[in-house]
């Protein structure tokens, strides 16, 4: 309180005046018992666990997932449009090999995914993952972007309309992240369930959600994760990085194979819709009514019969 008095006497007089005022207000100066006051150090020592980081993992996963929805839609639209407008066939007829074609797609569209991953890690890591190794956090973001690009490659052969692919593809990519609710309780990641987490991590969005949650848990105790400690835990961060790399390889191979399948896959949704429509509109068979059939020579007999 008080601004007067620069020495200890001034501070003591201010404290005595404050105590006297509190005594007068609470006890009325009549000698009644006053509540016992306890002194606490200020500022308080840092807490051992920051509750914010219980929710930071899913929040970071959701933010990065939303930042990749537009690149996923752009990749799907470009791939299906090239197939729809027969541009790929023209390139292949002109002498371009499939390897060179897919390498150019990986480089051109991968640049956008890489840029999103680097910008996201540069903005998020200093504030949310300050105790973790920056290169490790950046590796997690980059591998997630690479796996998401390959996931889009694997989805493209199932579409024959570029507009439909740009709408349905990002929606499917977002829905794959909602399995995270099976592995969290009150916003924090559950322990154990290693096999279920490994299977769910075959979806790139789920793998990134689990990795970001592991980083957030270690940040909550002000420890972080480094290259030497990323192997710790029942489902460590190293497993998430390895599975993301495996996802990229699997979806790239699946996209290559499904693209060779050609037109049959793009017509698969149409064929399924046609089959369902035919099943729903098929008339129910009626029971044949029993009709007494006359013998074949009945008309001749009727004609030959004499009139009455």
pLDDT, tens only, 197-217:
899 999 999 999 888 888 888
306 or 171: which leads in pLDDT: 171
Global model pTM greater than 0.75: no
Q: What is the pLDDT of residue 233?
A: 82
Measure the N-to-C terminal CA separation of the chain; round to a whole number of Å.
136
Q: What is the pLDDT of residue 6?
A: 44
- Quick: pLDDT tens for 156-201: 888 888 899 999 999 999 999 888 878 877 666 777 788 888 999 9
Count Cα neighbours of 65 within 13 Å in the Cβ-side half-sphere. Answer: 24
Task: Give me the mean pLDDT over the 251-255 stretch.
Answer: 90
Q: What is the pLDDT of residue 135?
A: 93
Write the CA distances from 186 to 49, 93, 237, 275, integer angstroms.
16, 57, 21, 44
Q: What is the pLDDT of residue 4?
A: 43
pLDDT of 145 strictly over 50: yes
Q: Which helix (H) or strand (E) holds 189?
A: strand 188-189
pLDDT of 53 strictly over 50: yes
- The CA-based diameter of the chain, rounded to the nearest angstrom, is 149
Q: Residue 164 burial (CB < 10 Å; 0-12/13-18/19+)?
A: middle
Q: What DSSP state is assigned to residue 135?
A: H
């Amino acid at each position: 309180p008080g601004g007067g008095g620069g020495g200890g006497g001034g501070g003591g007089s201010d404290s005595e005046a404050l105590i006297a005022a509190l005594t007068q207000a609470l006890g009325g100066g009549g000698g009644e018992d006053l509540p016992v006051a306890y002194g606490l150090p200020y500022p308080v020592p840092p807490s051992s666990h920051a509750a914010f980081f219980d929710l930071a993992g899913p929040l970071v996963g959701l933010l990065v997932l939303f930042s990749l929805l537009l690149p996923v839609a752009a990749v799907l639209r470009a791939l299906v449009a090239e197939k729809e407008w027969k541009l790929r066939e023209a390139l292949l007829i002109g002498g371009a090999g499939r390897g060179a074609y897919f390498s150019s797609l990986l480089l051109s569209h991968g640049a956008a995914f890489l840029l999103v991953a680097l910008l996201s890690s540069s903005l998020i890591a200093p504030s949310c993952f300050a105790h973790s190794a920056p290169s490790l956090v950046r590796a997690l973001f980059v591998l997630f972007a690479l796996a998401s690009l390959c996931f889009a490659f694997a989805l493209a052969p199932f579409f024959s309309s570029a507009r439909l692919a740009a709408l349905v593809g990002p929606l499917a990519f977002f829905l794959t992240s909602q399995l995270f609710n099976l592995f969290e309780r009150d916003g924090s990641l559950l322990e154990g369930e290693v096999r279920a987490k490994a299977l769910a991590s075959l979806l790139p969005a789920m793998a990134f959600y689990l990795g970001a949650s592991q980083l957030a848990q270690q940040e909550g105790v002000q420890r972080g994760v480094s290259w030497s400690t990323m192997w710790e835990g029942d489902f460590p961060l190293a497993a998430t990085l390895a599975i993301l790399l495996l996802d990229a390889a699997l979806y790239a191979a699946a996209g290559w194979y499904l693209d060779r399948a050609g037109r049959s896959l793009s017509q698969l949704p149409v064929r399924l819709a046609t089959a369902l429509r035919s099943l729903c509109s098929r008339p129910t068979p009626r029971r044949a009514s029993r009709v007494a059939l006359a013998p074949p020579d009945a008309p001749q007999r009727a004609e030959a019969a004499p009139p009455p």
